[in-house]
Amino acid sequence: MHLARAALRARSAQSPRTVARRPAGFELRGLRPILQAALGRGRGAYHQQHGLEIVEARLFNTVGPGQTGAYGMVMPRFVAAAVEGRPLDLYGDGRQRRCFCDVRDVIEAVVSLMRNSRCHGRVFNVGSDCCISITELAQRVISLTGSRSGTRLVPYERVYGADFEEPRERRPDLTRLREAIGFAPRFSLERTILDIARSMRNAKTPQLAVA
């Protein structure tokens, strides 16, 4: 963590205005793989030496009802905009592809991994490997919510700064997860979008007091 704090201070000193506009946690993205690898080795060694039952689950784009878009998560941000009739902002060109997995499927997978002794001491990617472009996601959200919202492209540098780099596609390899627990998501992307929209609408509906 000392390394992470030093990197944050260095970036803030170089470009304070740009950093101030970035979503919370952005500056740690470059260090995340390094920190994950270091922590993973430490957990693996502890498992071997002391027999501690450890399973490492690496989550990829977990989404679901109750999620907030405050930290830049695209799914709740899109659904909130559609429900409120605002334009859906697509960062970059909208052609980047991502995979989304419902939190309810993720929970089942993590619990199954914890209960399976053959999974202890191992690392698993948990998520979906069905990709969709951000533009297609926005269109699907608008269609499913019955919204009249449109979309608009927002340059990366306006949100993240000029030095931002975005992978064109992020797709986890789920081979190990499927072999270990037979993982197969039950919640479709459409179902997840509808449930997120429903939860957002319910949160804005005044609840009648029960005597």
How confident is the model over 36-76, as pLDDT tens digits?
565 666 655 555 665 678 999 999 999 999 998 877 799 99
What gap in Å lies between CA 117 and CA 124, rounded to an integer? 14
Measure Cα distances from 76 to 47, 64, 65, 80, 141 in Å. Answer: 37, 8, 9, 6, 10
For 32-96, strand residue ranges (E) read 56-59, 62-63, 88-91
Judged by average pLDDT, the poorest of 62-71, 77-86, 173-182 is: 62-71
Measure Cα distances from 145 to 18, 20, 100, 194 in Å. Answer: 34, 33, 18, 7
**Domains located in the chain, CATH noted:** 53-204 (3.40.50.720)
pLDDT at 34 over 90: no
pLDDT at 173 over 80: yes
Cα of 85 vs its chain's centroid, Å: 23
- Asked if 64 and 191 count as a contact pair (C-beta separation under 8 A), the reply is no
Q: What are φ and ψ of residue 137, in 5° steps?
A: -60, -45
More confident site: 48 or 97: 97
What is the residue-averaged pLDDT of the chain? 82
8-state DSSP, 112: H
Using DSSP's 3-state secondary structure scheme, residue 52 falls into: coil
Beta bridge partners of 62: 101
| Range 27-33 average pLDDT | 53
What gap in Å lies between CA 98 and CA 95, rounded to an integer? 10
pTM: 0.75
Question: How does pLDDT run across 113-150, given as a tens digit for each residue?
Answer: 999 999 999 999 999 999 999 999 999 999 999 999 99
**pLDDT for position 143:** 98
